[in-house]
Structure 1
Amino acid sequence: MARQLPYQTVKEIFTRFEASEPEPKGELHHLNAFTLLVAVALSAQATDAGVNKATGPLFPVADTPQKMLDLGEEGLTGYIKSIGLYRNKARNVIRMSRILVEEHGGEVPSSRAALEALPGVGRKTANVVLNMWWGHPAQAVDTHILRVGNRTGIAPGKDPVAVERAIEDHVPAEFQRHAHHWLILHGRYICVARKPKCKACLISDLCAYEDKTT
């Protein structure tokens, strides 16, 4: 775990991220708040590309909680069986859809507590939906952000919640809304796990990582 970088250094890092990509986007395909919620729930221990391949045919058929209930667990399974843990995920999506219909009028709630009360929805999933759909400055910490936060010193912490808090505490407010997207994309394509691409990195001169590749 690298030391926490000074505030001005973190500010410069995100200034560069913003200049490079002013409006970063998540890579999970979705049509509305419900399909975003389903896509994120399906993405646990799966790649975005794999989820997109499965949901491409699914979402035109079931883009609301009621349509998902009408499809049923077995029908849903047929669409998502290429995704890891698909049986458990199908069960959770159907249960989630039923709760949305019965308790939320078929709408996706905009509160973290209500989202986390849904089957198969943890803090990370809730934060993605809050950020991407509702525009909240929520930080969805995945393995990429956990690695980048600790390796660079942008937001060190021993677990996802600690890194989430570090982002909230140390990243300037004007960058909070897009912070997790910049960090995810940086971890996915530049600051990769085994051999980070330091020569191609736009923040390598600011990063606290000691074992930079050459």
Structure 2
Amino acid sequence: MEFEFLNKNKPASEKEITIVIKTLALSTENFMVKLWRSSNGGELTQNLKIYSTSEIIERNKTYEIDIYFPECVLIGDDSGGRLIITKKTDDNIFYFIDAGSPSLEDGQKFLSLKELTEFACDEEANSRINSDNIDIVSTGIKQITAKEVLLVKKALNLEAPIGIIKDLLSKKDKTLLCNVNKYKYEKSIKLLSEIIIAKPNNTINKN
């Protein structure tokens, strides 16, 4: 592999790999198949992770990748609303897009996972020295639809149940995410500007 994991796992078994190949219709030459034989997923940076065989099927189902990007597979995320997507074949091109984006071209395109990792590392370094962190809060749409709630859940990578998220979104100035990097969520906030907005974060940095 041309990159190194921050935290590397044990290799996946051939049985585990075969189940994922059949379930997600992956090519046996897909990048992930080769990776799992070395490490069953792992962390590339503090925030960036690649899914294990036990995670990837559920994640692809949650984000409905087979509906929106049927020729692709979701292989990881940055724990902040952005997804790492590649083709099911042996294409080895990696797309870094906001959850909820309708097109792969809306995000960044990388010719290797090493290149994507270096990009993410630079962003994380900048966020540590950048004071422009924000809170993401609701605008208070009274008649918010289930589809809109799901879009917000995916875009912000929220773990809370749909019902709780809907209740928060129907009220004004309810915090959905606190003290996050504004550049990471910039596109998602713009895309969902009628539902969520950014506000300056008032958390005091004690470091």
| Fold shared by both chains (TM-score > 0.5) | no
Shorter-chain TM-score range:
under 0.3
Higher helix share: 1
Higher strand share: 2
Higher relative contact order (CA 8 A, sep 6+): 1
